[in-house]
């Protein structure tokens, strides 16, 4: 159900239930959590890329035919790891339907790369299923409250062009996994302690009063002065 592969500097995690549009049941959620924990423990994996198999869906959300197997009170989140924070960058590679809990999984990721034919929406609205994998909190942070409420309240489905225009997507690519893996290598090429500390400052500082956010940034930045010194030395000594 879940494949974990190393691709260069990235850990590629694939939801492999194409016969169910990669919908998540209890067993799949447990396997997703296991893959996430494996990524966290893999010091050589700089970025996690999450995708779905089959080319028709990234993830259609919770498997409504097996919804009783999902635990709404799971500490890590019903869909596997949506209530946990990743210590390293994450990218969703989306090809096809990215709906309901699948959209919440994509929103959990830092960045999102999708094919032109991909679609997005909170379609669980039609069946009265609540968003409990972070969607009500992350969607407004990504696209703004007005656009988020449009999607949350209407349950409408949007295409990649509109998703890109509203900031839901980072990039559109004909081959989403390849595009996401290339983006992962771009990120992995930089000194990783600074990448991770700046990411932490942005995520944890969001919503804090400005002075508290600046203090967090200063504290984390101060811890990376050695990396900054080494980088400045390399810059000054490079061949001209």
Question: What is the per-residue pLDDT for 239?
Answer: 59
The pLDDT tens digits along the chain (240 residues) read 899 999 999 999 999 999 999 999 999 999 999 999 999 999 999 999 999 999 899 999 999 999 999 999 999 999 999 999 999 999 999 999 999 999 999 999 999 999 999 999 999 999 999 999 999 999 999 999 999 999 999 999 999 999 999 999 999 999 999 999 999 999 999 999 999 999 999 999 999 999 999 999 999 999 888 877 777 777 677 755
* 224 lies in the same domain as 105: no
Whole-prediction pTM value?
0.94
* 65 lies in the same domain as 131: yes
Question: What is the per-residue pLDDT for 59?
Answer: 98
Residue 149 three-state SS = helix
* 8 lies in the same domain as 70: yes
Q: Residue 207 region, left (φ>0) first, then alpha (ψ -120 to 50), else beta?
A: left
Question: What is the per-residue pLDDT for 240?
Answer: 59
* 58 lies in the same domain as 41: yes
* 134 lies in the same domain as 179: yes
Range of the domain at 45: 2-188
Question: What is the per-residue pLDDT for 238?
Answer: 73
Q: Please, are residues 172 and 164 in contact by the beta-carbon 8 Å criterion?
A: yes
Choose one of 163, 188, 213: the last residue of a domain: 188
The whole-angstrom separation of Cα 50 and Cα 70 is 20
Closest CA to 204 of 40, 85, 39: 85
Q: Please, are residues 91 and 47 in contact by the beta-carbon 8 Å criterion?
A: yes
* 26 lies in the same domain as 111: yes
Q: Tokens 């970025």 map to which residue?
A: 47
C-alpha neighbours within 13 Å on the C-beta side of residue 110: 21
* 104 lies in the same domain as 197: no
* 197 lies in the same domain as 169: no
* 72 lies in the same domain as 116: yes
* 114 lies in the same domain as 152: yes
**Residue 238 — φ and ψ, nearest 5°?**
-70, 155
Task: Give the residue ranges of DSSP H helices in 7-95.
Answer: 26-41
In the chain, how many domains are there? 2
* 29 lies in the same domain as 109: yes
Strand order in the sheet with 111-114: 2-7, 10-15, 47-52, 90-94, 111-114, 171-172
Q: Give the contacts of 5 (CB within 8 A, at least 6 positions apart).
A: 11, 12, 14
Active-site residue list: 104, 124
Question: What is the per-residue pLDDT for 114?
Answer: 98
Q: Tens of pLDDT along 67-95?
A: 999 999 999 999 999 999 999 999 999 99
Identify the CATH number of the domain in which residue 136 sits: 3.90.226.10
* 127 lies in the same domain as 227: no
């Amino acid at each position: 159900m879940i494949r974990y592969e190393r691709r260069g500097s990235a850990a590629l995690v694939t939801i492999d239930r194409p016969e169910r549009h990669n919908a998540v049941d209890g067993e799949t959620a447990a396997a997703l959590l296991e893959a996430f924990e494996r990524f966290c423990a893999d010091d050589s994996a700089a970025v996690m890329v999450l995708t779905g198999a089959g080319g028709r869906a990234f993830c259609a959300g919770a498997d409504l035919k097996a919804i009783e197997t999902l635990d709404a009170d799971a500490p890590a989140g019903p869909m596997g790891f949506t209530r946990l924070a990743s210590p390293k960058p994450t990218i969703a590679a989306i090809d096809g339907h990215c709906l309901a809990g699948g959209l919440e999984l994509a929103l959990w990721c830092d960045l999102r790369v999708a094919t032109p034919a991909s679609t997005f929406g909170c379609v669980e609205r039609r069946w009265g299923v609540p968003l409990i994998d972070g969607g009500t909190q992350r969607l407004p942070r990504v696209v703004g409250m007005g656009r988020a409420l449009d999607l949350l309240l209407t349950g409408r489905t949007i295409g990649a062009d509109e998703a890109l225009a509203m900031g839901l997507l980072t990039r559109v690519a004909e081959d989403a996994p390849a595009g996401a893996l290339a983006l992962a290598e771009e990120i992995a090429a930089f000194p990783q302690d600074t990448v991770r500390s700046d990411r932490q400052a942005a995520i944890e500082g969001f919503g804090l009063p400005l002075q508290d956010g600046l203090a967090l940034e200063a504290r984390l930045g101060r811890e990376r002065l050695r990396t900054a010194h080494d980088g400045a030395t390399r810059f000054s000594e490079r061949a001209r």
